A and B are shown apart, each in its own frame.
Chain A
């Protein structure tokens, strides 16, 4: 009896997110065979720990397990890549999020962004998709993870923060940096550097985010 109920619950709550689980694993380890193995391992863990699932969003719960499974695997099998992830993070202080230090003419920026919203852009969408896929594929691990969770799974900052075990501010900065690089992958120049006279105010950006206090 109990088994049947649990099975029904698992099937209803967790199974619909199998695609999301595989998608995350696939983007984190970047090859289909390992991704399949890791997604399977994560699902088995989810089955085993299903007793411990107490409400909340089952997708976020499952993706936390997937991420953990993938990171353990990366640390074991590709230690350099896993180490680089933390390195990358150390050099990307939240304050410079979205403002990569390189200046380009603003005129060109306008021309580009107009170009990308033009109908021709639709026509070359195929190759644009290719460049985006490549761009996302070559993002450093933590940025790739943040962008995949946000853009491909549509998960809120708050939940991404829970899944990735970082602050909401860090999530926002990772997404900003990830998008910045994808924009370059698409052929857009990096954002122009804006020089302000006033220095950055010591404001905690995390406090600006909804749901931070809840």
Chain B
């Protein structure tokens, strides 16, 4: 690879966006060319300077309130439609209205409750997705959005990126150091992905919001040679995926559940 080519692909390399072939080629070139290696280093230092500078703006409260009101307005809940004629009814009939509203809410609750388990039942297809995701993450440069062995770095990183706060712990003393975290979108939901290491094996823990779902015991499966353990706890679905042997992966699942 010439310097010309290397420079053209440099940004992609620094961002871990190159395919395997070009990553390898550019790495070969970087070993031979200190000029280009320097450029990579400078690009990385710009990146880390940006990351440390907190240049993100957050939505002002006034905007959030306006948008929330607009959302409520645009998608009215059924129970509301009984609200407007309320003034016309004498007192006794109003009681009927309340009963009706309560019935509507109950109906809604039942339907919502019916919908939730339906989403859970596609366990296999979800596991498939998690396994593919885990495998994809092992390709060079794809493991992490935030690389750290410190749970106090990884956990806040998820702030504002998810609608829940994933539990993050480092199990280094037990031989499962936390190496990285990243954001995923799996099974139509945003998911936290935490990467742990056991010797040379990587374990990806996916955490998905499971609002309202009941706690479940662990379910084990094997897909494409990867072991998958899944459970639900505290309104969160957990999936752990790894090529680690079943026994150690189960130990790890117990650690997580403690």
Binding site for B on A (CB under 8 A): 1, 3-7, 10-12, 15-16, 18-19, 21-23, 26-27, 32, 35-36, 39-40, 43-44, 47-48, 55, 57, 94-95, 97-99, 106, 109-110, 112-113, 116-117, 125, 128-129, 132-133, 136, 147, 150-152, 154, 156-157, 172-173, 175-176, 179, 182-183, 186, 188, 191-192, 194, 196, 198-201, 203, 205, 208-210
Contact = CB atoms under 8 A, between A and B. Distances in A.
Contact of B63 (A12, A18, A188, A205): A18
A182 B43 CA distance: 10
B153 to A, nearest CB: 15
Nearest to B17: A157
A98 B15 contact: no
A113 B71 contact: no
A113 B38 contact: yes
B87 interface: no
Contact of B50 (A4, A151, A157): A151
Nearest to B72: A7
A44 B75 CA distance: 12
B45 A113 contact: yes
27 contacts: A3-B76, A4-B108, A7-B77, A15-B163, A16-B160, A23-B58, A39-B59, A43-B71, A97-B8, A98-B8, A98-B10, A109-B38, A113-B41, A113-B45, A117-B45, A125-B49, A129-B53, A136-B50, A152-B56, A176-B11, A179-B47, A191-B42, A194-B36, A200-B4, A205-B8, A208-B21, A209-B19
B19 A26 contact: no
B176 to A, nearest CB: 25
B135 interface: no
Interface residues of B, number: 69
Given A22-B63, A125-B52, A179 B46 contact: yes
Contacts of A201: 2, 4-5
A15 B71 contact: yes
A88 to B, nearest CB: 17
- Closest 9 interchain pairs by CB? A7-B75, A129-B53, A22-B59, A176-B11, A208-B22, A3-B75, A194-B3, A4-B77, A26-B57
A17 to B, nearest CB: 9
A112 B39 CA distance: 12
B160 A99 contact: no
Interface centre among B11, B19, B21, B77 (most CB of A within 10 A): B11
A98 B7 contact: yes
Contacts of B183: 154
A3 B162 CA distance: 23
Interface in B21-45: 21-22, 35-36, 38-39, 41-43, 45
Contacts of B51: 151
A89 B5 CA distance: 20
B64 interface: yes
Nearest to B157: A154
A168 to B, nearest CB: 8
A112 B38 CA distance: 11
A1 B77 CA distance: 6
Given A11-B71, A188-B42, A210-B18, 16 more contacts: A1-B111, A5-B115, A16-B161, A16-B162, A19-B160, A44-B67, A47-B71, A47-B75, A97-B7, A133-B55, A151-B51, A191-B7, A194-B35, A205-B9, A208-B12, A210-B139
B90 interface: no
Contact of A151 (B17, B47, B185): B47
